[in-house]
Amino acid sequence: MADTEPVINKGLEGIYFAESSICKVDGQAGKLYYRGYSIEELCGNSDFSEVSYLLLNDKLPNGNELEGFRQQLADERYLPKSVVDFIKENSMRMHPMDTLRSAVSMLPAYDTEAYDNSPGSNMRKSVKLISKSASIAATIGRVRSGGDYVMPDQSMGHVESFLYMLNGRKPDPKTVKILDVMFIVHAEHSSNASTFGVIVAGSTLADIYAATTAGIAVLKGPLHGGADEAALEMMYNIGDPDNTEKYIEDALAGKQKIMGFGHRVYKTYDPRARIVKGYLEDLQTNGSGELKNLSQIALRAEKLMIDKLGASKGIWPNIDFFAGPVYVSLGIQHEIFTPIFAASRMSGWCAHMLEYWKNNRLLRPLEKYTGQVDLKYVRIEDRK
């Protein structure tokens, strides 16, 4: 028995299941690279559309390629009427991530090559998914705040158009720039739970719509993408910056997890969190009212958590901790934080699917069975 006893890696911790050249997460050094470029390099010089091209194509585009890619994204931005009607009809009755998931899963109905699994078709569908998921997320936010569908403006950039469809007015360049960085830092993160979910679904040779719909389902939970909204909710519960330390101490004493902290791979500061924190520090100095309060709470909570759990347990802030207050500063409502995460991560999900299908193998791990065998069937009238 001892010879065959399986080793269980709870949560699949430490298990490699494939090779990939898309993303390197160095959890010890706190470094993140997309296709070899550090996240700092990309946030400082690029934009989400170009980063999406890089993720999908494994190279930075030249001028013509980038222009063509931006045009493809713009051409795909409109939503079919029945998708808009679905959002209008249902988005007040379910979580925005459920609306997003359902709306994305309607898209094959409007795609004549939906079930063509060739690489060229999948690349076109990836562009469609990146573009339309942002339009869907914006429309969900718009409808939930009482507005009507805003027809996309094809002359706008991807993130500019997202904000235009969300708010019905042209956004200012500073807001576009900050949100663009938020899209970049959320675009990819190796084999995180949702990307793994996408690949599991795709490994059955289900199509890219099915696979990315699975990704949206996996991203929803508060241990993954939903942590940004949950962290912000905690900050609102704290209310006054002077309550921060007691609130966190009490939560930890009650064995609660503090949302927005900890990571399976990073055992030091998440480099994405450092980038997002920069905007928060600005808010602490230049913000007012609610924003100043939120940023103070976030920064005081961060200090306490690092003092208590940083070096001792390797629990540091992750990207989701600072994202909420930054979105609030951009006027974005809480319930679409995670849909924005999904619309950004769509680039990474599609890049992974395109890569995995080049060398596909069905993903099928094992469970150690701990139940009984050879039980005898008991007729219902003889059961107690």
Binding site for ligand CMC (CB under 6 A): 11, 189, 192, 223-225, 227, 257-264, 313, 315, 318-320
Q: How many CB atoms lie within 10 A of CB 351?
A: 26
CA torsion sign for 356, 108, 193, 186 is: positive
Smaller CB separation from ligand CMC, 164 or 327: 327
224 is annotated as an active-site residue: yes
Please give the residue whose beta carbon sits closest to ligand CMC in the complex.
262
Question: 271 vs 287, which CB is nearer to ligand CMC?
Answer: 271
CB 25 within 8 A of CB 265: yes
User: What are the start-end ranges of the H helices in the chain?
Assistant: 39-45, 48-57, 63-75, 81-90, 96-104, 119-144, 158-167, 173-186, 193-203, 208-219, 227-238, 244-253, 271-286, 289-305, 311-313, 319-329, 337-356
Among this protein's residues, is 320 annotated catalytic?
yes
Q: Please pick, among 47, 263, 270, 352, the residue that the annotation labels catalytic.
A: 263
Is 186 a residue of the active site? no
| Set 320, 352, 374, 382: catalytic member | 320
Q: At what angle do helices 208-219 and 119-144 cross, to 10 degrees?
A: 40
Question: Active-site residue among 95, 224, 282, 334?
Answer: 224
Q: Which CB sits closer to ligand CMC, 275 or 315?
A: 315
Find the shortest distance in angstroms from Cβ 107 to ligand CMC.
24
**Residue 317 φ/ψ, nearest 5 degrees:** -65, 140
| Nearer residue to ligand CMC within complex by CB, 87 or 184 | 184
Least separation in angstroms between CB 232 and ligand CMC: 12
Residue found by looking up tokens 């450092």 in the block:
274
Tell me the C-alpha distance between 316 and 241, whole Å: 20
Output the smallest distance, CB 268 to ligand CMC, in A. Answer: 13
* CB nearer to ligand CMC: pick between 224 and 292: 224
Contact 104, 114 (CB under 8 A): no
Closest distance of CB 310 from ligand CMC, Å: 11
Angle of the 96-104 helix axis to the 208-219 helix axis, nearest 10: 170
**How many Å is the Cα radius of gyration of the chain?**
22
Catalytic residues: 224, 263, 320
